[in-house]
Structure 1
Amino acid sequence: MSNNPQRQLHLGAFLFQVGHHVAAWRYPDTDAHGILNHDFYENFAKTAERGKFDMIFLADTLAVIDRYQTSIKHTVTVRPEPLTLLAYLSGVTERIGLAATVSTTYHEPYNLAREFSTLDHLSGGRAAWNVVTSGRDEEAHNFSKSKHPDHDQRYERAREFVDVVTALWDSWEDDAIISDRDAGLFGNPQKVHELHHRGPEFSVRGPLNLPRSPQGRPVIIQAGASDTGQHLAAQTAEVVFTAWQTLEEAQRFYASVKSLAVQYGRSPDEVKIMPGIFPIIGATEEEAREKEALLQQQVLPAVGLSMLSASLGVDLTGYPLDGPLPELPELEQINGGKSRFQLVADMARRENLTIRQLMYRVTGARGHRTISGTPVQIADQLEEWFTQGACDGFNIMPPYLPGGLEEFVEKIIPELQERGLFRTEYTGTTLREHLGLVRPPSRFESNAASGQ
């Protein structure tokens, strides 16, 4: 049983194609055609809501990534636009949060603020924005750029981007709409504020052409684990998605981000840390191992090598699969996902993995932690991380769909509920309420109250 039954896990259901395993589409229990079927997405959302998850989460990439000419041929590269999909899912669900990834590198603050505010209004306060900076030259080539901006430049843009977006969400005070028909008064101009923002990246007058949404502001999520990413998360994020292999690594990250949040004048409870978990569930350990082996058998070596090469920034084709990794570039040479590069490289060194062994770790959990076993064994490991200061919850990454999520809801959720670690019913209606986050006041309302 949990030592602190009052504190409960937060859970996200991470929707990724037809499952997180790169060969999920070849697995016998996968709906391989679901990626083009609205019923597939509706079933996913309703299953997660039945399990009382805090949110469903959609990642995104603004390009087809096929550097080693294997992805289009052998893997699923189809990705629906997340905000459009979540707008649809808001109409077939009632409580579950709706989180989408949108890049600050290839969008504008005004459009993004308007889109997420609309989703928050339509859903009754369930929207969340996962702030990313993009990481690939292929994305740059789709937006009239020859080269991807460097890491630090992307994060400086992201910091200013988030500040502008949150100011736009605040630009209408909560009581700005009067709607007095008899007097002919719709809004109070004194409570609708222009930003007049002028910064290195953006010039935005404002205000937004939408009033404040049910949550005040949609929840902000961030996923960077580099030093720069941690500072951005501690300063701006309310949920942090991350990837760690060991309890000790996760504990260090958890303590670091919470401490940085305090330095930025925030309470540690204002930032929820949720590492990704790739669960393989069996009635017995042997059944779980057999499931994992069957998934790995569907991986073509060329696909695994291309994924690993992309993660490490080194072309591994031509190296012996059962040999060691070649020398890797230094971290400062990586201009894409620095934290993911570091995680995969550290995993290889720590466990002395061959290229083949490391390849299979990436094709499954994509650098996140794999937990394989019975429902009790998986719940034990989730409880250990939660109670030992490593996280506030988890982003669950089903290996294949729909069965991978259904198994988690039917077998793991009841085990967590029995331990007092997870809700049995929703107690709120907004995502902020699920996460235990306060509804922030408009910054302009705060300034007016203080006489500024």
Structure 2
Amino acid sequence: MSKPQKQIHLAAHFPGVNNTTVWSDPRAGSHIDFGSFTHFARTAERAKFDFLFLAEGLRLREHAGEIYDLDVVGRPDTFTVLAALAAVTEHLGLTGTINSTFNEPYEVARQFASLDHLTEGRAAWNVVTSWDAFTGENFRRGGFLPQEERYTRAAEFLATAHELFDSWRGDEILADPATGTFLGDAKAGAFVHSGRHFDIQGRFNVPRSPQGRPVIFQAGDSDEGREFAASDADAIFSRYATLEEGQAFYADVKRRLARYGRRPEQLKILPAATFALGDTDAEAEELAREVRRQQVSGATALRHLEFVWNRDLSAYDPDGPLPDIDPLVSDGHIAEGRAQVRMYRDPLATAREWRERAAAHGWSIRDLVINTGNRQNFVGSPETIARSIDALVQADAADGFILVPHLTPGGLDAFADRVVPLLQERGVFRTEYEGPTLRHHLGLEHPDGSGAARAA
């Protein structure tokens, strides 16, 4: 008996706080003007995507003690943007990244419960942790948690938030779902939590929302992150968008669900993916090369090399050979304010490998960074990209993809107009939204165990 076709899940990541976007392109727009967010969200909804995703930037990034100004920095407040987008969309899920290291459960639960009401059941929370004292300085407690305890706090944070969401749960009606008017039950909203990280009690003042709880996303790739996702998340982001790596990640995370009494379909695996779309495969390949060179200027290449070398390399020619000096290994780092600092656990080994690859291919510093950095995951004509996405999902390398275009806000338009119809023709992507909530879009059960999420 043949295996039934899986339905593909698609989402859109508004590209900011990273160097994926080509902000210097004349077609690029503002990353803070609301019109950019509106255009992007309406395109995603027109294409019947599951949700829009916002990352979070809690501090301007720095490099060698100065603001890092070679890619987009900064981001308006996540909840403010998502609440505003609720008014200009009707079906699109709205997902925000909110940190569990520097926030408090009551405040975050109240904000997400409110957003779920405002959107009539379209809210989602990407639960992340933060390892660095650099960001923590904004909260007057930089470095207050050892790295190994981040997920311990995150797990208790999420459990506490769930207790708050569920404090209005009961067989009897506690509030009018249309007006929020309180209808009875002296226990409504009452909560008590006493644990290692949080000791709180009181009344939660937001009634049960349409989804019961927001959809929970998790983004960690470590063993602790995978376990955290398997225990309590509805979806996990992945950086593995190739067949072999994607299948390995998919099988590993899905396998962990059983120990928590969960089924494979209760956790969606959604890698982030970039794309270069052309009329032909050859045209798309040329566009991909152009985009990579736009993303990696000479100055950007030198800064990237400094992540590994931990030295000021500004005197080197980005179009020349790699430095012959070794990386400086120390507790401090030239790029404390950049996430890439911890990507290279063994800088001496990385430097040796890079020198060997550069020598073998005749690469300059800039060539090396271009060829070892992020690459477009999907490159080709609309037919090629649709076929590639479908093949990866059907092969259990993913349940779908979170697309990150290189242009803001119009970079998603061509994909919506040219690739989505081909996926629909294949019968693997919706032509209309089938339910009102994000849980419906993702095929997730309501937390009450009542099947798909209930309508508001």
TM-score, length-normalised on structure 1?
0.84
Specify whether residues 361 and 412 from structure 1 end up closer, same or farther in structure 2 by C-alpha distance, changes over 3 A only.
farther
Query: 1-side partners of 2:312 and 2:226: how far apart?
Result: 30
Where 1:56 maps in the other structure, the secondary structure is strand
Could you tell me how far 1:162 is from its partner in structure 2? 0.5
Deviates more, 1:292-301 or 1:321-330: 321-330
1:432 corresponds to 2:439: yes
Partner of 2:300: 303
Deviations 1:115-160 (CA, angstroms, capped at 9, x unpaired):
0000000000000000000243321111113436332111111010
Query: 2-side partners of 1:349 and 1:429: how far apart?
Result: 51
Percent identical among aligned pairs is 38
Decide which of 74, 84, 88 is 1:78's aligned counterpart.
74
Deviations 1:65-104 (CA, angstroms, capped at 9, x unpaired):
1124675433221311111100000011000100000000
AA matched with 1:30: A
Query: 1-side partners of 2:20 and 2:312: how far apart?
Result: 18
Gaps of 5+ in 2: 359-364, 451-456
AA matched with 1:384: A
Where 2:190 maps in the other structure, the secondary structure is coil
Gaps of 5+ in 1: 444-452
Query: 2-side partners of 1:170 and 1:104: how far apart?
Result: 19
| Native 8 Å contact 1:274 1:395 kept in 2 | yes
Could you tell me how far 1:372 is from its partner in structure 2? 1.5
AA matched with 2:370: Y
Specify whether residues 8 and 22 from structure 1 end up closer, same or farther in structure 2 by C-alpha distance, changes over 3 A only.
closer
| Native 8 Å contact 1:279 1:370 kept in 2 | yes
Could you tell me how far 1:350 is from its partner in structure 2? 11
Partner of 1:143: 139
1:189 corresponds to 2:186: yes
How many residues are treated as equivalent by the alignment?
426
Partner of 1:171: 167
| Native 8 Å contact 2:97 2:125 kept in 1 | yes
Deviations 1:42-70 (CA, angstroms, capped at 9, x unpaired):
11110000000000000002111112467
| Native 8 Å contact 2:127 2:218 kept in 1 | yes
Deviates more, 1:113-122 or 1:73-82: 73-82
Where 2:204 maps in the other structure, the secondary structure is coil
Specify whether residues 381 and 71 from structure 1 end up closer, same or farther in structure 2 by C-alpha distance, changes over 3 A only.
farther
1:121 corresponds to 2:117: yes
Could you tell me how far 1:398 is from its partner in structure 2? 0.6
TM-score, length-normalised on structure 2?
0.84
Query: 2-side partners of 1:267 and 1:201: how far apart?
Result: 30
| Native 8 Å contact 2:131 2:150 kept in 1 | no
Specify whether residues 418 and 440 from structure 1 end up closer, same or farther in structure 2 by C-alpha distance, changes over 3 A only.
same
Specify whether residues 399 and 70 from structure 1 end up closer, same or farther in structure 2 by C-alpha distance, changes over 3 A only.
farther
Decide which of 357, 366, 370 is 1:360's aligned counterpart.
370
Partner of 2:104: 108
| Native 8 Å contact 2:218 2:237 kept in 1 | yes
Decide which of 260, 271, 274 is 2:270's aligned counterpart.
274
| Native 8 Å contact 1:104 1:131 kept in 2 | yes
Where 1:187 maps in the other structure, the secondary structure is coil
Partner of 2:50: 54
| Native 8 Å contact 2:10 2:400 kept in 1 | yes
1:410 corresponds to 2:417: yes
Could you tell me how far 1:297 is from its partner in structure 2? 3.3
Partner of 2:14: 15
Could you tell me how far 1:205 is from its partner in structure 2? 1.1
Specify whether residues 99 and 66 from structure 1 end up closer, same or farther in structure 2 by C-alpha distance, changes over 3 A only.
same
Partner of 1:29: 27
Query: 2-side partners of 1:328 and 1:387: how far apart?
Result: 45
1:373 corresponds to 2:369: no
| Native 8 Å contact 2:57 2:74 kept in 1 | no
Specify whether residues 185 and 107 from structure 1 end up closer, same or farther in structure 2 by C-alpha distance, changes over 3 A only.
closer
> Cα RMSD between the aligned structures?
3.3
Deviations 1:199-226 (CA, angstroms, capped at 9, x unpaired):
1111121431111100011000000010
